[in-house]
Amino acid sequence: MASTAKKTTASTAKRTARKGASSAEAVRLLDALKAIHPDAHCELVHANAFELLCATVLSAQTTDVAVNKATPKLFAAFPSAEALAKADPARDVEPLISTIGMFRQKAKNIVGLAKQLVEHHGGEVPRTLEALVALPGVGRKTANVVLGVAFGCPEGVVVDTHVQRISQRLGLTREVEPEKIERALCTLLPRDRWDETSHILIFHGRRICSAIKPNCEGCGVKELCPSAFHAEEVGRKPPKARANAAAPKKVAARRGAKLGAKATKTKAAAPPKKRAARP
């Protein structure tokens, strides 16, 4: 029986890798991952939708840990959209978030979105994707974080680097662009599970299925994963190709030419050796 079950699992994995997962297989994988990470959640600390919106904007290309260290002082100083809208980005906000990446532009963005919240939405965070993405610094991913976590009505699955990598390794999609990955996951999974999907996949990526050294041996879904034990080959961005493969040779040739010219110049400038006088 065990041998038969093992063969069945292997054949399922091969079929998943070749054709892509079915909706039933995707739900089964998500259930298994949820059992492994029952505590999966949004790790940006916030007390309301406004704080979540600001924190998510600040988290672009920055870790959640770094953002959570900066936001307590920020939200203490500016607890509402009305308060933040009156702030000067450089003078009032930058010093509070200077420990995170791109803090100057992010300071402008959160002050700008606060002003728009006050002017167009009565100081409240809107509950539609269209209205959210119209705010400074807010893209589709940020908007779906807010819609899913704060309001429970996401318009899609949030696809960050972890979700992109894990969904590819698990055979949920072969797409490489975030927008196409999102559409594939939304097609496979029920709408009421879109929000938790991103959190579960993110936790799995951080804890087990890392980019460089995935822990396949310790993974609870390795029997369902078509990439098990060679996952490091899947879901990682290929190294950037050199624009001109001959460039290093050209640089070496130029350096050689410069050194040769310098040696010739030095030799030419050297005074002639004096001949010893004949007796």
**In b/e form, how buried is each residue of 166-175, taking b as 16+ CB within 10 angstroms?**
bbbbbbbbeb
String of DSSP letters for 156-212: S----HHHHHHHHHTTS----SHHHHHHHHHHHS-GGGHHHHHHHHHHHHHHT--SS
Closest to 202 in 3D by CA, of 36, 74, 87 = 36
Phi, psi (degrees; rounded to nearest 5) at 103: -65, -30
Residue 259 CA, chain-centre distance (Å), reads 45
Task: Tell me which residues are annotated as active site.
Answer: 141, 160
- Asked if 257 contacts 251 with a C-beta cutoff of 8 angstroms, the reply is no
Token digits for 235? Answer: 């879901």
The answer to whether 21 touches 170, Cβ cutoff 8 Å, is yes
